[in-house]
Amino acid sequence: MNYEIYYIESTVVSIIILLMLLFNAMRSADTQMHKRYLASCVCFESLYLIIDVIWTLTEDGPTRHIIVSNVLLYMIMNIMAYAMFQYSLSLQGRVCLLVSRIQLFMYIPAFINLVMIFTTPFTHLFFYVEDGRGLVTGPLYYLMISLAMVYLVAACLLWFLAAFLEENYADRMLNITRGLAYLPTIVSGILQSAFIHIPFVCFGIVISMLLLYMSSMSSYISLDPLTQINNRNQFRRHLGNKLRDNGNLALIIMDIDRFKSINDTYGHLEGDEALIRVAKALKIICSSNRSKYSISRYGGDEFVVLVYGTYDEAAKTCVQIQKTLSELGREANAEYSLTLSFGIACKGPDTSTIPSIFAAADKKLYVQKQIKHNART
């Protein structure tokens, strides 16, 4: 009876933590789709934990109660695993589009499992009740567990794939963290199947959801919400680290020429589209060599690029950025052309700190903007 009290207490605490997490997430600036998937995850996880407690209390009860509670428990377990997989997909972009092409096939493991769990009181393939022994695992019990685990392992691997495809360093590390977040649930599920009287799963679920939630909050802290590239704080942290390293480093500061006139003429929504187009151009350039660049939106219409190379390499990068930006404008049939002004500064004895290298690049940017202004007048 002592283990039952501990089991119930652990489960109740876990459900409270999950509901608190859901409450905070619903108040965040996240999209409605993400919130719906998160809500479904928490609901099925909480339902699973409640039924798990019911199973614990009916373990020594009538055979009918044991069978019903276990059928419900394992059916909810499969739905919960699928909900966690879908929540993972809702947070992804490029990988989500790839997986959506095989959407129908993703239902197959869950469908097979649900049908076999529902019929297991008659087939005894997954589990059955035996007099004097209580609940006994059937010949395909671990297949049932494995089919549910498929979704969690797939979610984990998809995050690692997203990390491999991501050109932005901060996003790449964020995706790796999200992939690792599913491991506590996977490991606890395996342990729970071996030691049924210890509430491993409730701890694993809570740890996984907390890690996913914290990684989502981390993305708000380090990413610019509009352009989805590094923000000012992340840039300054990254620049500070690179200034302490050996090797060549060039800082490019750029801003959009006559950006105010775009807002005044076409509206602020179109101004946002212009900013997104610049960020897309930067992403395209960085994807060619992820280890050579770091991109950020510094504020307003100002962007920065760290080039781990010489001044000449940074100058070539500026040409490539402007060329790519012009191509994107033609593809979008934009009513205006976007041009950028650039300022470049390299790490040296007089530019070995964040303020000094930034001031040097900003001064070059100001000179170029003045030249363009004088040319127009």
Residue 125 lies inside a defined structural domain of this protein = yes
Residue 71 lies inside a defined structural domain of this protein = yes
By the 8 A CB rule, do 69 and 54 touch? yes
Own/partner pairs for 28-37, CB < 8 Å, 24+ apart?
Answer: 28/216, 28/217, 28/220, 29/220, 29/225, 30/216, 33/90, 34/87, 34/90, 34/91, 34/216, 37/83, 37/86, 37/87, 37/90
Residue 184 lies inside a defined structural domain of this protein = yes
- Mean pLDDT for 125-131 is 79
Among the candidates 191, 222, 253, a domain finishes at: 222
The CATH number given to whatever domain includes residue 322 is: 3.30.70.270
The CATH number given to whatever domain includes residue 87 is: 1.20.1070
Specify which residues 304 forms β-bridges with: 253, 296
pLDDT value of position 172: 76
Classify strands 340-346 and 250-256 as parallel, antiparallel or unpaired.
antiparallel
Domain assignment of residue 271, given as a range: 232-376
Residue 272 lies inside a defined structural domain of this protein = yes
Domain match, 216 and 273 both: no
Domain match, 117 and 46 both: yes
Residue 14 backbone dihedrals phi, psi, to 5 degrees: -65, -45
Residue 30 lies inside a defined structural domain of this protein = yes
Largest Cα separation within the chain, whole Å, is 96
Number of domains forming the structure of the chain: 2
- Among 7-21, 75-89, 167-181, 245-259, which range has the highest average pLDDT? 245-259
Which tens digit of pLDDT belongs to each residue from 264-300? 999 999 999 999 999 999 988 887 776 788 899 998 9
Domain match, 287 and 329 both: yes
Residue 227 lies inside a defined structural domain of this protein = no
Domain match, 279 and 315 both: yes
Which tens digit of pLDDT belongs to each residue from 309-364? 999 999 999 999 999 999 999 998 888 889 999 999 999 999 999 999 999 999 99
- Mean pLDDT for 35-39 is 75
| pTM, 2 dp | 0.60
Which tens digit of pLDDT belongs to each residue from 61-85? 777 778 888 888 889 888 888 888 8
Which tens digit of pLDDT belongs to each residue from 199-227? 888 889 889 888 888 777 766 667 787 88
Among the candidates 198, 222, 246, a domain finishes at: 222
Domain match, 53 and 33 both: yes
Domain match, 243 and 319 both: yes
What proportion of the chain, given as a percentage, has pLDDT over 70?
87
Over 80: is that where the pLDDT of 168 sits? no
What CA–CA distance (Å, rounded) separates 241 from 351? Answer: 14
Domain match, 140 and 279 both: no
- Mean pLDDT for 127-154 is 81
